[in-house]
Structure 1
């Protein structure tokens, strides 16, 4: 699946970035999650670009990039996104992160809050120090991928974060995108975890909208509930009927919540 908007390439001292850039006005940065890339936002870019300037990158290590030398972690990717905004001469942006991208968005705010105008966190993937009973799926998925059983491993991962049999129902372009990024699970398995830090989170003063799918599996509803208690300017919305891929299942509702957020902060 080829994106409808041209993919731009930016070579900087901090690496090469592939991204899409459409619209004018306030800047909105969209950060994808695990196994995804800039194609994940296919139903957001054209609609939101009618209201603001939308920056849609593929994180370093993800399609179409190869042989990236920088480290793979939430912390490195947060720095990468700041470097991209700097290179585009964007002083501050609204930042939307989905799943693992939500952790990256949060780290961006913790590192340089003045450059993050607001946060929109969609089922953010933020860990707690307690053992996660569901975490075995990551090991099972990675083992299958390393054994060459690519689709089997991807099905395990996607079904765990989005609900049983989600992989079977996925359309062709989504499956291809996930296959293109299968090897990033090897890197993700080794990255330092991004944990809840109540003291740091509660010190953030920027507006935050938390988005969840009505049918998203654990731990995402619990993460949103905890963040709403911790973050001083947070409010939550649940999109129904939808699971973890809420922006694909109900794009009009998802996009409208983003527009409402940006017009009220």
Structure 2
């Protein structure tokens, strides 16, 4: 990790936050997904911070804070992120969520729409009742980890969301980050599901950019297509060649789309 972007610690009455904060201008909050933490955005923070204020937190329970006392759920993490914005005196922010972080970003907008200026959703991990069987891989991964087969279990999870043999191709720092957050799978297994609710989501009238990888496996392309059809201000982009970890595979293209989104919002607000 670039030492020029130190990890800051903020203790509030409700939680302890570890985050990076760089740049000036409109605030952009980056929310990581499952098994990740603030290190996931290593190719976004330096480039984006030249254009706006970038806030990159690790969600409570994730490295380096493994034993948070708060509830583990999309709903609690959305409240946590809203509390973080308040603690940093940020009136509103553009919010980018990847995978499970996409659900958190949406819940933030549903809970306090005045705090979220726009949404950027990269392969958002929203569950549908028709796709419940897809979540079985989480149980399989957790069983392997509990049996002491850490890398085997993590490979099951990563390959399910990014494509076969992705774990084998991952670089050392990414594998270490995932190992550091393996304990969160136990918590995630028991969290309340965040389901796709078309009636509620269609009420989101803020600008939304949807990002998908050309090789992202099901259900991500289907989720993006449904969101694109119901969100009144949605724009979709496909990054190629890339899968679920599109911000790592094609960082400059990913960052370009984010900056284009921010520029567009600056001209329309």
Q: TM-score when scaled to structure 2?
A: 0.97
Once the 2 structures are TM-superposed, how far is the Cα of residue 5 of structure 1 from its aligned partner?
1.0
Tell me the equivalent position of 2:9: 9
How many angstroms does 1:253 deviate by? 0.0
Structure 1 equivalent of residue 119 of structure 2: 119
Aligned pairs for 1:202-213 within 5 A: 202-213=202-213
Q: Which moved more, 1:240-249 or 1:199-208?
A: 199-208
Paired residues, what number? 265
Q: C-alpha separation between the residues in 2 aligned to 1:98 and 1:3?
A: 24
Show the counterpart of 1:245.
Answer: 245
Whole-Å separation in 2 of the counterparts to 1:203 and 1:260: 24
User: Map of 1:15-164 to 2, 5 A cutoff?
Assistant: 15-164=15-164
SS in 2 for 1:135: helix
User: d(CA) in 1 for partners of 2:244 and 2:236?
Assistant: 15
Deviation of the 1:66 alpha carbon: 2.7
Asked if 2 retains the 8 angstrom alpha-carbon contact of 1:126 and 1:223, the reply is: yes
Q: Which moved more, 1:127-136 or 1:97-106?
A: 127-136
Tell me if structure 1 keeps the 8 A contact 2:118–2:207. yes
- Work out the CA distance in 1 between the residues paired with 2:5 and 2:124: 26
C-alpha contact 2:239 2:246 (8 A) present in aligned 1: yes
Does the 8 A contact of 2:131 with 2:219 survive in 1?
Answer: no
Which whole-Å CA distance do the structure 2 matches of 1:253 and 1:170 have between them?
20
CA distance in 2, matches of 1:80, 1:155: 29
How far 1:4 moved relative to its partner? Answer: 4.7
Q: Cα RMSD over matched residues? A: 0.9
- Cα distance in 2 between the residues matched to 1:86 and 1:96: 17
Residue 246 to residue 131, structure 1, CA distance change in 2 (3 Å) = closer
Task: Specify whether residues 241 and 131 from structure 1 end up closer, same or farther in structure 2 by C-alpha distance, changes over 3 A only.
Answer: closer
2: CA distance, partners of 1:145 / 1:21: 33
Q: Where does the alignment leave 5 or more consecutive residues of structure 1 unmatched?
A: none
* Residue correspondence of structure 1 range 151-230 to structure 2 within 5 A: 151-230=151-230
Structure 1 residue 221: deviation in Å?
A: 0.1
Contiguous gaps of at least 5 residues in structure 2: none
